[in-house]
Amino acid sequence: MLTKLAILDKTSIPVASKGLDAYTHRGRAIANNIANVSTPGYRRIEVSFEDQLRRALDKELNLPGKRTDNNHFFLGRKELDHVKSEGYRVEDQTNPGEINNVDIDIEMAKLAENEIAFNFATVFIRDRNSTIGEAIKGDRGG
């Protein structure tokens, strides 16, 4: 018999959970950018995640390969467990002549977008957990 945790692993909850981790990471990066809007020479931080997740979920991507060392690159499709958000410094000079490459209006828009995504993932996970719990208990909701 499967435990409740094993059942949850077979749902979309692990994907949404990875999203929560990435949105938290992205929120910290955006907050850091906003805090340094007036810091001369500061380079803004971006967080990549969605492309990695898309590739991990792509059933068509199936290159054979085996990692024999943890330092080797992944070949083919990554397992969801190995998908992680990655922060990086942006080298572009989008605001030439300014003190750095942070645009407060863009960062505030990104912050709002990130908050919406985080809130959606939170509600999604809560609702999926509730639905699964009701199914386990046999609750028909009526």
Instruction: Give the number of domains in the chain.
Output: 1
The answer to whether position 36 is within a domain reads yes
Spatial separation of the C-alpha atoms in residues 127 and 131, rounded to whole Å: 6
pTM, full prediction: 0.77
pLDDT in tens, 15-31: 999 999 999 999 999 99
Supply φ then ψ for residue 43, to 5 degrees. -110, 130
Residue range 31-81, pLDDT digits in tens: 999 999 999 999 999 999 998 888 888 877 656 566 677 777 666 667 788
Amino acid symbol at 63: L
| Domain assignment present for 99 | yes
Q: Which domain covers residue 27, as residue numbers?
A: 12-49+84-137
Q: Is the pLDDT of residue 10 over 70?
A: no
Considering only CA atoms, which of 23, 18, 19 is closest in space to residue 115? 23
Does residue 61 fall inside a structural domain?
Answer: no
Q: Is residue 88 part of a domain?
A: yes
Is residue 129 included in any domain, yes or no? yes
